Amino acid sequence: MKYVYFPVIDTAVAELGRRFSANSVALLGAICALMPGSDDFLDADILQPMAAHYKSNIDDFNLELQQMKRMIARKTTENTMPDFDSEGDKLVAFAKFVSKYDEEFYELNGLVRIAVTLPVTSVEAERSFSCLKLIKTHLRTTMLDDRLSDIAVLSQRANALDLDLVVDKFANKYPNCRIVLC
């Protein structure tokens, strides 16, 4: 039994080490440090690897972090600071807050936008390619890219679509159109 057990464990540990290198872990930690309410919120030491990885101006970034901390402290004492907990996703709420001051916090805004748009997994990309494979068959090879893209989005988001609303909007926009639905 141990001849099977150890190779499996070794393979799992090696795969975890490959997927989660020190650089990846540092970047994930930096994303966590951009999350309001975390213990390391806006910690410059934790955010440095992310700033360096995405080639931010480190001096400007450090100054922006200090100014952002001062602004948050001032807005908190004045009770004008938005409540990031009530808005759902804290990182997205913080990104909206920082984007209001994108001229003043250029480097910080760039890193927050990157953190918001980084995919957590590759599931969404795999799902879109799987959906595309179902849509683009041999019979539909002449379909234009715009239409293919629209149909792919519709098929991925079909569960979130309110079909009654779509039909009502279509009926209001084209009142003279007569379609017989079987």
> Looking at residue 181, what is its pLDDT?
62
Helix H, strand E, coil C: the string for 112-134 is HHHHHHCCCCCHHHHHHHHHHHH
CB count within 10 Å of CB 31 equals 20
**Cα 62 from Cα 45, distance rounded (Å):** 10
- Model pTM greater than 0.85? no
What are the sequence ranges of the domains in the chain?
2-117, 123-173
Give the rounded percent of residues in the chain with a pLDDT score beyond 70.
87
- Write out the two tokens for 152: 């792919």
Residue 41, CA atoms < 13 Å, CB-side half-sphere? 13
Percent of the chain as helix, strand, coil, to the nearest 5: 70, 0, 30
pLDDT digits (tens, 9 = 90+) for 113-149: 988 887 666 666 677 777 777 777 765 677 777 887 7
Closest alpha carbon to 58 in 15, 9, 107, 98: 107
Residues 143-156 have a mean pLDDT of 78
**Cα 116 from Cα 92, distance rounded (Å):** 6
Chain centroid, CA 161 distance in Å: 21
List the end-to-end C-alpha distance of the chain, in Å, as a whole number. 62
> Looking at residue 70, what is its pLDDT?
93
Whole-number average pLDDT of the chain:
81
**Cα 72 from Cα 82, distance rounded (Å):** 10
**Cα 112 from Cα 57, distance rounded (Å):** 15
Closest alpha carbon to 112 in 31, 168, 23, 41: 31
Q: Which of 14-18, 27-31, 170-174 shows the lowest per-residue confidence on average (mean pLDDT)?
A: 14-18
**Cα 145 from Cα 165, distance rounded (Å):** 26
| pLDDT at residue 34 tops 80 | yes
